[in-house]
């Protein structure tokens, strides 16, 4: 009887396949997620051809194809499809999007004169232009050769006027309003305390500000009326006349006339707007600059707060504390802190940071502000500072654990060599242990940043808003306003996807925003990894 | 069997005669010294005097306590939890356990070179002047002078003088160990402890370091732990043999290797055990 273990037939390792399967499933899901987000996110900015479709009930549709799906209740073996067109012109059609049964569409043409417009208000429009009334009063028919050039020139000129207007209404009038608010609070205080001299001075200041306000309004009016406004006369699908003043037009393009290069240029122009502009139309249009900025600033501040706290704590735990049962309990608690649901940190942040800490700061430093400004809190409400602190607390265990492990991994020889030369414990930690464990600490910070940048739930409680009127950073002292509420990409995704009044319009933006959030987190991580690798290179060749 | 192994016999080991120099005969004095790691007794009843500016070698089989004793001379074992000692060690008449003596100042007077070279991941220059940096020397000229002096003493200067700002981790094993010696002597300690400094080095590097020890003993009192009988015979003036935590014999190296008074010592030296 041969010993079965002596069998000369080779046997495979069945579990190789089993474990490999785990990797394949995991990879498949990640790749699926990324490709869905990238595909849907990138195509948002691509301008496809826009058909003019004849429906057999006599309607004509001019619109960009948005979706194609199986009609509800259609038989499975002969599925019938319906198409969704983005027709725009919300003010006339009631809705920018339209579902049509695919079978009912008699024919599609792609006439070269279809014009797509992105507008400041009421969303996009797809029209067939008739004539352009230029700002100098001349009228050009759409059939004229110079029409497109003249149209784009007028759009550019109108954009300059619009920017001037924004500069006046939002920034300069905004500044005046801000100063006015401050002066009014000061006046109320002065009146309350009967400071006659100050009252007079403040009244004079307010009067001056009011004068400036009126002057600015007049200036704005002059800008609006001064340059005669060009306007575009066109016909919509139902042959109604549509007159659009060009100050309303952000961008116009002829989707059926563009060559590939033109489409690429349009793509990048839209992408640029998305990244660098402010949102419009309940966040469904325009850009994400404030949200990108808010996410970045918040993540950076979180890292700046969590790193020193975490490292100092870990140094105490690893280097100074008496190792024993108490320390073991502390360690287990710290590790468990990493598993606490993030919303719990949000509630803590609201209850402690915002109400207790923020409330106390207001009582101590902004008492006048509270008393004379209808109890409007400064720090006693959600803001950038509290968001960063809350997330710092949430990611603290990650940094502590990583630092402890990095410190423990420093070769014993290095520690002994330092102590043997007569260095104190603190000198050894500062000069030898911390530099040597810096790559490990940075790994912890990278993990903390990755978790913090994508977190939404706690932020909703402690300071993230749908639309922040101002960035947390501007030209007025102290430049960085940690008390301000801000916008965040993660919250933006949630807001667009579930809180938007126009879910059809928000859908593509959800994907684009998600893609942007992923890219931002990847960039932050790459930056940190780059720093870590540079540090690692310094220790390369260590023969311990 | 032992004949086939051809063990080094005491007669084949060249012994350097003990050098008599000016200096205190009981510069380091160990009296009735015992030491425990937790419940385990590592050293028992050690009593020996180490004269000033001589080289003393500790030999014995692994686990005999020679490294433990060496590491107690600058209290490196303080890093270990649950240690205990009895008896006393004095350096130049003062107990190293004197509560008025800070461990840090003790270690500044007693330099140490370890078995594995352990340079810091810094430049060669920063490695050498580390001991000066920790006492707060800022003056660049002082640091540079100390760096050159130490590297010259460690016979490394000519090899590295053009790349002092390069990472110390790019040096060869023997160079790294000499760098560690330069680092240990940079702040001019009085005593130099060497814990098997050549165990990871090739014979050429070993030879260089032994030469170095000869030169260094003009200025330093050196205690060296070694597993190599030949090395002990070549470099030391006096030798102590330890076995199972006890001091078996301590005498001039010549006496230990030529005419040991204990049978165990002779057995160990001639390679019959250990």
Which of helix, strand or coil describes residue A307?
helix
- B59-81 per-position pLDDT tens digit: 999 888 899 999 999 998 888 88
Helices A384-409, A434-453: axis angle to 10 degrees equals 140
User: Token pair 């059939």 is at which residue?
Assistant: A143
pLDDT at B20 (0 to 100): 57
By CB neighbour count within 10 A (0-12 exposed, 13-18 middle, 19+ buried), where does A5 fall? Answer: exposed
Q: Decide which of 3.40.50.880, 3.60.15.10, 3.40.50.300, 3.40.50.620 is the CATH code for B2-122+189-269.
A: 3.40.50.300
pLDDT at A317 (0 to 100): 92
What mean pLDDT comes out for the span B9-31?
Answer: 66
User: Token pair 């309350």 is at which residue?
Assistant: A192
CB B91 within 8 A of CB B26: no
pLDDT at B9 (0 to 100): 44
pTM of the shown model? 0.80
Most A CBs within 10 Å: which of B73, B129, B130, B177, as the mutation test of the A interface?
A: B130
DSSP class of residue A95 equals S
- Give the pair of three-digit tokens for residue A85: 């067109």
What mean pLDDT comes out for the span A321-346?
Answer: 90
Residue-level length of chain A:
544
Lowest mean pLDDT among A364-378, A402-416, B8-22, B142-156: B8-22
CB B76 within 8 A of CB B114: no
CA torsion sign, B136 to B142 to B144 to B147?
Answer: negative
Nearest one of B72, B79, B76 to B31, comparing CA atoms = B72
Residue extents of the structural domains in chain A: 52-129, 135-229, 289-538
Most A CBs within 10 Å: which of B111, B114, B118, as the mutation test of the A interface?
A: B118
Asked if residue A287 has pLDDT above 60, the reply is yes
Minimum-distance CB partner of B114 among A413, A431, A435: A413
* Between A509 and B25, the higher pLDDT residue: A509
pLDDT at A28 (0 to 100): 96
Q: Measured between alpha carbons, how far is B138 from B58 in angstroms, rounded to an integer? A: 38
β-bridge partners, A61 = A53
The answer for A517, left when phi > 0, alpha when psi is -120 to 50, beta otherwise, is: alpha
Q: Measured between alpha carbons, how far is A62 from A85 in angstroms, rounded to an integer? A: 8
Phi and psi at residue B154, to the nearest 5°: -85, 10
Instruction: Count CB neighbours of A87 within 10 A.
Output: 24
Using the Cβ of B102 and the Cβ atoms of chain A, whether some distance falls under 8 Å is answered with no
The answer for B241, left when phi > 0, alpha when psi is -120 to 50, beta otherwise, is: beta
User: Token pair 């000198």 is at which residue?
Assistant: A427
- A35-75 per-position pLDDT tens digit: 999 998 888 888 899 999 998 888 888 999 888 888 888 88
Instruction: Give A539's contacts in chain B (Cβ within 8 Å).
Output: 121, 169
Nearest one of A447, A448, A451, A438 to A533, comparing CA atoms = A438
Which of helix, strand or coil describes residue B64?
coil
Instruction: Give A439's contacts in chain B (Cβ within 8 Å).
Output: none
pLDDT at A223 (0 to 100): 78
- A401-438 per-position pLDDT tens digit: 999 999 998 888 889 999 999 898 999 999 889 988 88
The chain-wide mean pLDDT, for chain A, equals 86
Asked if the peptide bond before residue A281 counts as cis, ω within 30 degrees of 0, the response is no
DSSP class of residue B274 equals -
Torsion angle in degrees (nearest 10) through CA of A334, A335, A336, A339: 120
Lowest mean pLDDT among A131-135, A150-154, A281-285, B198-202: A281-285
Q: Measured between alpha carbons, how far is A425 from A321 in angstroms, rounded to an integer? A: 13
* Between A530 and A368, the higher pLDDT residue: A530
What mean pLDDT comes out for the span A372-378?
Answer: 76
- A67-76 per-position pLDDT tens digit: 888 888 888 8
Closest Cα of chain B to A543: distance in Å?
7
Residues 361-420 (A) with a CB less than 8 A from some CB of B? 411, 413-420
For residue B8, what are the contacts with CB-CB under 8 A and spacing of at least 6? B229, B230, B270, B271
Q: Measured between alpha carbons, how far is B179 from A151 in angstroms, rounded to an integer? A: 77
Instruction: Give A362's pLDDT tier (boundaries 50, 70, 90).
Output: confident
Q: Decide which of 1.10.1740.10, 1.10.3720.10, 1.10.10.10, 3.40.980.10 is the CATH code for A289-538.
A: 1.10.3720.10
Closest Cα of chain B to A280: distance in Å?
54
Asked if residue B2 has pLDDT above 70, the reply is no
Instruction: Count CB neighbours of A259 within 10 A.
Output: 8
By CB neighbour count within 10 A (0-12 exposed, 13-18 middle, 19+ buried), where does A352 fall? Answer: middle
pLDDT at A160 (0 to 100): 86
User: Token pair 């306000």 is at which residue?
Assistant: A213
ipTM of the complex: 0.85
Which of helix, strand or coil describes residue B43?
strand
What mean pLDDT comes out for the span B33-52?
Answer: 90
Instruction: Give B170's contacts in chain A (Cβ within 8 Å).
Output: 541
Instruction: Give A544's pLDDT tier (boundaries 50, 70, 90).
Output: very low
Minimum-distance CB partner of B104 among A415, A424, A436: A424
Closest Cα of chain B to A291: distance in Å?
42
* Between B58 and A534, the higher pLDDT residue: B58
pLDDT at A6 (0 to 100): 61
Closest Cα of chain B to A319: distance in Å?
11
Residues 318-357 (A) with a CB less than 8 A from some CB of B? 323
Instruction: Give A11's pLDDT tier (boundaries 50, 70, 90).
Output: confident
What mean pLDDT comes out for the span A460-468?
Answer: 86
pLDDT at B17 (0 to 100): 56
DSSP class of residue A96 equals S
Taking an 8 Å cut-off on Cβ atoms, the answer to whether B170 and A422 are in contact is no
Closest Cα of chain B to A413: distance in Å?
6
pLDDT at A350 (0 to 100): 93
Instruction: Give A7's pLDDT tier (boundaries 50, 70, 90).
Output: low
Instruction: Give B5's pLDDT tier (boundaries 50, 70, 90).
Output: very low
CA distances from B199 to A343, B55, B235 (A): 58, 18, 15
- B216-231 per-position pLDDT tens digit: 888 889 999 998 888 9
- Give the pair of three-digit tokens for residue B239: 């030798």
pLDDT at B192 (0 to 100): 92
Instruction: Count CB neighbours of A382 within 10 A.
Output: 26
Nearest one of A473, A381, A469 to A177, comparing CA atoms = A469
- Give the pair of three-digit tokens for residue A369: 């502000």
What mean pLDDT comes out for the span A364-370?
Answer: 79
Closest Cα of chain B to A341: distance in Å?
38
Q: Measured between alpha carbons, how far is B128 from B144 in angstroms, rounded to an integer? A: 10
Using the Cβ of A537 and the Cβ atoms of chain B, whether some distance falls under 8 Å is answered with no
pLDDT at B6 (0 to 100): 42
Torsion angle in degrees (nearest 10) through CA of A197, A202, A204, A210: -170
Instruction: Give A22's pLDDT tier (boundaries 50, 70, 90).
Output: very high
Q: Alpha-carbon Rg of chain A, whole angstroms?
A: 31
- A88-125 per-position pLDDT tens digit: 888 888 888 889 888 888 888 999 889 999 888 888 89
Q: Where do the H-state alpha helices sit in A381-424?
A: 384-409, 412-420
**A430 → chain B, closest CA residue:** B134
- Give the pair of three-digit tokens for residue B63: 């686990």
Asked if residue B91 has pLDDT above 50, the reply is yes
> H or E element: which one contains A191?
helix A173-193
For residue B81, what are the contacts with CB-CB under 8 A and spacing of at least 6? A323
Asked if residue A484 has pLDDT above 60, the reply is yes
Beta-carbon pairs below 8 A across chains A and B: 80
* Between A505 and A27, the higher pLDDT residue: A27
What mean pLDDT comes out for the span A141-160?
Answer: 87
The chain-wide mean pLDDT, for chain B, equals 86
Most B CBs within 10 Å: which of A420, A424, A433, A539, as the mutation test of the B interface?
A: A420
pLDDT at A347 (0 to 100): 95
Residues 165-184 (B) with a CB less than 8 A from some CB of A? 167, 169-170, 173, 176, 180, 183-184
What mean pLDDT comes out for the span A158-182?
Answer: 83
CB A345 within 8 A of CB A431: no
Taking an 8 Å cut-off on Cβ atoms, the answer to whether A431 and B112 are in contact is no
pLDDT at B274 (0 to 100): 53
Longest distance between any two alpha carbons in chain B, whole Å: 62
Residues 421-440 (A) with a CB less than 8 A from some CB of B? 421-424, 427, 431-432, 435-436
Instruction: Give B169's contacts in chain A (Cβ within 8 Å).
Output: 539-543
- B170-192 per-position pLDDT tens digit: 888 888 988 998 999 898 888 99
For residue A365, what are the contacts with CB-CB under 8 A and spacing of at least 6? none
């Amino acid at each position: 009887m041969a010993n079965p273990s002596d069998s000369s037939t080779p046997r495979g390792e069945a579990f190789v396949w089993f474990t490999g399967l785990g990797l394949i499933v995991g990879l498949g899901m990640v790749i699926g997620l990324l490709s869905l987000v990238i595909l849907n996110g990138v195509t948002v900015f691509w301008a496809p051809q826009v058909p003019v479709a004849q429906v057999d009930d006599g309607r004509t549709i001019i619109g960009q194809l948005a979706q194609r799906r199986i009609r509800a209740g259609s038989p499975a073996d002969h599925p019938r499809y319906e198409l969704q067109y983005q027709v725009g012109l919300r003010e006339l059609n009631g809705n920018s999007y339209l579902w049509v049964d695919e079978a009912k569409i008699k024919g599609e043409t792609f006439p070269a004169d279809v014009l797509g417009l992105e507008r400041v208000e009421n969303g996009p429009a797809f029209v067939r232009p008739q004539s352009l009334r230029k700002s100098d009063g001349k009228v050009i028919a759409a059939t004229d050769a110079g029409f497109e050039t003249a149209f784009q020139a007028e759009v550019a000129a109108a954009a300059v006027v619009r920017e001037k207007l924004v500069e006046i209404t939002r920034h300069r009038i905004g500044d005046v309003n801000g100063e006015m608010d401050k002066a009014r609070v000061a006046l109320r205080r002065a009146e309350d305390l009967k400071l006659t001299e100050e009252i007079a001075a403040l009244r004079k200041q307010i009067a001056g500000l009011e004068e400036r306000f009126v002057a600015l309004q007049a200036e704005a009016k002059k800008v609006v009326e001064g340059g005669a406004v060009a306007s575009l006369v066109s016909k919509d699908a139902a042959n109604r006349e549509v007159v659009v003043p060009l100050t309303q037009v952000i961008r116009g393009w002829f989707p059926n006339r563009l060559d590939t290069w033109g489409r690429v240029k349009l793509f990048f122009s839209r992408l640029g707007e998305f990244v660098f502009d402010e949102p419009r139309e309940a966040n469904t249009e325009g850009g994400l600059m404030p949200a990108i900025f808010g996410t970045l600033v918040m993540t950076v501040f979180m890292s700046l707060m969590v790193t020193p706290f975490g490292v100092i704590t870990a140094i105490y735990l690893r280097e100074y504390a008496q190792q024993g049962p108490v320390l073991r309990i502390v360690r287990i608690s710290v590790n468990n802190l990493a598993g606490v649901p993030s919303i719990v940190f949000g509630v803590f942040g609201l209850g402690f940071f915002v109400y207790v800490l923020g409330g106390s700061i207001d009582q101590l430093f902004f008492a006048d502000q509270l008393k004379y400004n209808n109890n409007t809190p400064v720090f006693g409400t959600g803001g950038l500072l509290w968001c960063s602190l809350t997330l710092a607390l949430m990611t603290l265990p990650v940094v502590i654990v990583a630092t402890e492990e990095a410190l423990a991994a420093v070769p014993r020889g290095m520690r002994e060599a330092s102590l043997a030369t007569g260095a104190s414990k603190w000198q050894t930690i500062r000069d030898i242990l911390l530099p040597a464990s810096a790559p490990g600490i940075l790994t912890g910070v990278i993990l903390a940043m990755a978790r913090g940048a994508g977190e939404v739930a706690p932020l909703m409680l402690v300071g993230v808003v749908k639309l922040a009127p101002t960035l947390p950073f501007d030209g007025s002292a102290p430049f960085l306003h940690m008390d301000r509420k801000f916008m965040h990409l993660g919250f933006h995704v949630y807001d667009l996807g579930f809180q938007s009044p126009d879910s059809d319009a928000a859908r593509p933006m959800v994907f684009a925003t998600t893609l942007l959030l992923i890219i931002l987190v990847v960039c932050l991580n790459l930056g940190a990894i780059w720093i870590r690798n540079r540090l690692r290179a310094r220790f390369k060749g260590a023969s311990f | 069997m032992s004949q086939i192994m051809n063990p080094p016999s005491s007669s084949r080991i060249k012994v350097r005669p003990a050098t008599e120099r000016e200096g205190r005969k009981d510069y380091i004095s160990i009296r009735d010294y015992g030491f425990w790691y937790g419940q385990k007794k590592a050293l028992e009843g050690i009593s020996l005097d180490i004269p000033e500016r001589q080289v003393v070698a500790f030999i014995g089989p692994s686990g005999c306590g020679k490294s433990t004793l060496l590491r107690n001379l600058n209290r490196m074992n303080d890093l270990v939890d649950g240690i205990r000692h009895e008896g006393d060690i004095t350096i130049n008449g003062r107990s190293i356990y004197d509560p008025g003596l800070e461990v840090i100042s003790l270690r500044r007077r007693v330099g140490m070179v370890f078995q594995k070279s352990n340079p810091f991941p810094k430049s060669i220059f920063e490695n050498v002047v580390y001991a000066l940096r920790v006492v707060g020397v800022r003056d660049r000229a002082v640091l540079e002078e100390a760096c050159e002096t130490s590297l010259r003493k460690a016979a490394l200067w000519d090899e590295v003088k053009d790349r002092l700002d390069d990472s110390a981790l790019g040096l060869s094993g023997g160079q790294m160990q000499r760098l560690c010696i330069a680092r240990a002597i940079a702040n001019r300690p009085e005593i130099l402890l060497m814990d098997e400094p050549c165990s990871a080095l090739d014979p050429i590097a070993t030879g260089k370091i032994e030469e170095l020890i000869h030169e260094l003993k003009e200025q330093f009192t050196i205690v060296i732990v070694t597993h190599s009988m030949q090395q002990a015979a070549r470099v030391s003036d006096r030798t102590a043999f330890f076995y199972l935590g006890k001091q078996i014999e301590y005498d001039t190296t010549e006496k230990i290797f030529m005419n040991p008074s204990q049978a165990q010592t002779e057995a160990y030296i001639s390679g019959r055990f250990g």
